Amino acid sequence: MERIACTPRPHWQARVEHLGLVWHGADAQPYWDESACYRFSPDEIAEIEQATAELYRLFLAAGQHVLDQNLLGSFGIPDFCHQAIREAWDGEPAALNYGRFDLGYDGAGPPKLFEFNCDTPTSLLEASVIQWDWKEAVFPAADQFNSLHERLVDRWRAIAPPRGTSMLHLTYVDGNMGEDAVTVAYMADTAREAGIDTQLIQTQQLGWDHQRRRFVDLDNRPIDALFHLYPWEWIVHEPFGREVVESLSSTLWIEPIWKMIWSNKAILPILWDLFPGHPNLLETSRLAMTGDHVVKPLLSREGANIRLVQDGETVAQSGGDYGEEGFIYQRLYTLPGAGDRRPVLGSWVVDGDPAGMGIREDGPITGNAARFVPHIIG
């Protein structure tokens, strides 16, 4: 694993915008950064891919354990969701089963799991289309760990209704013209490529038909399938949260409600309890730790409210609005690199299978100011 300097392509901004990445920076700071890339050996990629498949297996076991031991309450999940989660887990409704494992990796030791973003993961377009296009232009002879686009299209095709019989609605929150809008537009593209009719709708435009007890769109059409880039832990606390749970018998929500288990950091101590000392896991607990560690809220997003502790002192801390839900304590993993060039690997799965990788660089805490840096194999 090696970071190498690169020369950005002339007019790269126009090129990534043409491919759909209309949000590629903020405050004069680039989000998509092709001034550098990471080069991996085939053996390193094989190790990352193997770890990704193994972690998915561990999450399957941990999810079943949570339900068998009636632990949903310890995740802070409302009681009225518990039965729906159990039914969705057992019934396996059609889903993409996609997500991004955030990993620490330096090429010397095994990849280590930080968390699993599997409810509303972003940086998808960058990892699939944008960095592949960059590779083809800059390193055409090199390879890349990247079959994301093809796997997403194939998965949509596998779960699609017969053409013309139903429409897939995709929703996100109005006013967020950054990552969420880009991600939803890209997911709509992959669904259409699979032959599915799509319609984008803002979350606040979803209607509830009290007579039919169903969600409807602006044309009063029943919503049969809904891809949502709005986290389940937010959905169920909305005024319409109970209606959402009621609608699960008539509307296919993608991803399913059981993703509330995996996307909650309360799953991480359970993984460690079930598989102590596993080479791809970091020691994690719901109880305060001694020694160097990281404190994370159960539902924190984009690096908010994270605290790094070394030698008994807080050495880095981020702000935010999380924490009331409780915390986990995770053994500190020192990222390679220095300054704001510390990479976190985002290893993707689609239908549970390894599908590609994206890399974000930031300081000791990877937050919403991180930069996306491409990679090659060679």
Q: What is the pLDDT of residue 56?
A: 98
Task: Annotate 126-164 with b (16+ C-beta within 10 A) or e (fewer).
Answer: bbbbbbbbbbeebbeeeebbbbbbebbbebbeebbeeee
- Token pair of 81 as six digits: 């969701």
Q: What is the pLDDT of residue 162?
A: 63
Q: What is the pLDDT of residue 179?
A: 76
| Residue 26 pLDDT exceeds 80 | no
Q: What is the pLDDT of residues 101-119, one digit of tens each?
A: 999 999 999 999 999 999 9
- What integer is the mean pLDDT of 64-68? 98
Q: Among 172-181, 200-209, 316-325, which is the least confidently predicted range?
A: 172-181
Q: What is the pLDDT of residues 298-355, one digit of tens each?
A: 999 889 999 999 999 999 999 999 999 999 999 999 999 999 999 999 999 999 999 9
Q: What is the pLDDT of residue 122?
A: 86
Q: What is the pLDDT of residue 161?
A: 76
CA–CA gap between residue 26 and residue 18 (Å, rounded) = 18
Residue in the structure block whose two tokens are 């890349």: 144
- pLDDT band of residue 369 (cuts 50, 70, 90) is confident
3-class SS at 206? Answer: coil
Q: What is the pLDDT of residue 177?
A: 53
More confident residue, 147 or 368: 147
CA–CA gap between residue 96 and residue 142 (Å, rounded) = 29
- Token pair of 206 as six digits: 């979803």
Q: What is the pLDDT of residue 165?
A: 59
More confident residue, 276 or 29: 276
